[in-house]
Amino acid sequence: MKRVALIAGAGGLPAELAGVLESPLVCAPAGIAPEGIAVDLVFHFERLVPFLRSLDARGVDTVVMAGAVHRPRLDPALFDRDTAALVPDLLAAMQGGDDAALRFLIALIESFDLRVLGVADLAPTLVVAPGPLTRRPPTDGERRDAARGRAILAALGPVDVGQGCVVADGLCLGLEVLFGTDALLGDVARHRPAREPTHGGVFVKRSKDGQDLRADLPSIGPATVTAVRAAGLTAIALQAGHVLVLDRAATVAAAESAGIAIWGEP
């Protein structure tokens, strides 16, 4: 039977995914240590082609990517000839944004007769479904703020910006950009005391329109709830079918304790 190669980035998602897969080959880029999981194979982006060629010999026919991987600093001394030939196209894709870079990587993997699947394909229970996750449902005001957030993110999707934003009383308090969710929520927490509204609001998380969900699927976890609470927010609205909830029991428990509503929207 063929194996699944799990290309693991940082964070806890690779370990959660590995727990529902049968003996995956866990691979990680050099310098990245996924949480709670042993890595079977470390590879360098500068030697990506030899790495992909080696997967067939290891019995792999399917690849899944999970966890955070920041844009690497490439070392020219490490390149093999075949990977070096890809650099101009890779750099051009990276200039087009994260989605373009990921589409380039997926197409490259598939060119080696490997199937690329998403976390949602292999572990659908990790993805939020429509409806509430917490006992407290969202208020009408929170639903209105969530709708405003969805509209903002939908408008920014075509320029490959943002999977999250914060809205309170219809006002956008911040957008998630290259620095991620923690930076967004930390910025809101620092600035809220100086300007109304100083409390309430919704953190909205969704994928970008047209995003390839086989990579970079948006996610939240217990730390997200902690940051949402510190930012004075009262709700988290997630796009159903497009957002992962990591360590779901702990995430929901933290939200219940803080009085924060979490729900999935169709």
Cβ atoms < 10 Å from Cβ of 222: 19
Regarding whether 99 and 141 lie in a shared domain, the answer is no
Q: Are residues 80 and 168 in the same domain?
A: no
116 and 212 co-located in one domain: no
Which whole number is the average pLDDT over 33-43? 93
Number of domains present in the structure of the chain: 2
Q: Same domain for 90 and 138?
A: no
Are residues 147 and 77 located together in one domain of the fold?
A: no
Write the CATH number for 22. 3.40.50.20
Token representation of residue 11: 């964070």
Please state the pTM of the whole predicted model. 0.83
CA atoms of 8 and 157, how far apart (whole Å): 26
pLDDT at position 139: 97
- CA distances 188 to 67, 173, 174, Å, are 25, 7, 7
87, 122, 157: which is the final residue of a domain?
122
Can you name the residues that pair with 6 across neighbouring β-strands? 26, 64
Task: Give every strand in the sheet of 115-117, ordered side by side.
Answer: 41-43, 25-29, 3-8, 60-66, 115-117
User: Where in the sequence is the domain holding 34, given as residue range(s)?
Assistant: 3-122
Contacts of 69 (CB under 8 A, 6+ apart): 9, 10, 29, 32
CA dihedral 203, 207, 209, 210 (to 10 degrees): 170
**Biggest CA-to-CA distance, the chain:** 60
pLDDT at site 186: 97
- Which parts of 139-179 fold into alpha helices (H)? 140-156
Q: Give the E-state strand segments of the chain in sequence order.
A: 3-8, 25-29, 41-43, 60-66, 115-117, 131-132, 164-168, 171-175, 202-205, 219-220, 235-239, 244-245, 261-265
Do 61 and 164 reside in the same domain of the chain? no
Kindly state the average pLDDT of the residues 127-149: 97
Bigger pLDDT: 100 or 133?
133
Do 137 and 251 lie in one domain? The reply is: yes
Residue 174, both tokens: 């911040």
What is the chain's mean pLDDT, rounded?
A: 91
User: Stretch 254-259: mean pLDDT, rounded?
Assistant: 97
Q: Tell me how crowded residue 35 is: count the other CB atoms within 10 A of its CB.
A: 13
Instruction: Please tell me whether residues 161 and 224 are part of one structural domain.
Output: yes
Distance of alpha carbon 112 from alpha carbon 108, whole angstroms: 7
Q: What is the DSSP annotation of 64-75?
A: EEESB-PPP---
Model confidence pLDDT, tens digit, residues 74-114? 888 899 999 999 888 877 877 766 677 888 889 999 999 99
Both 178 and 259 in one domain: the answer is yes
Domain boundary among 100, 122, 144: 122
Nearest to 45 by CA among 11, 13, 9: 9
Q: What's the CATH code of the domain at 204? A: 3.40.140.80
Residues 74 and 103 occupy one common structural domain: yes
- pLDDT tens-place string over residues 148-186: 999 999 999 888 787 899 999 999 999 998 888 999 999
Regarding whether 113 and 131 lie in a shared domain, the answer is no
Give 25's strand partners: 5
Domain boundary pick from 73, 98, 122: 122
pLDDT in the model for residue 96: 67
Cα–Cα distance measured from residue 74 to residue 17, given in angstroms and rounded to the nearest whole number: 28
Structural contact between residues 239 and 207, judged by C-beta atoms closer than 8 angstroms: yes
Neighbours of 244 (CB within 10 A): 22
Q: 62 with 135, same domain?
A: no
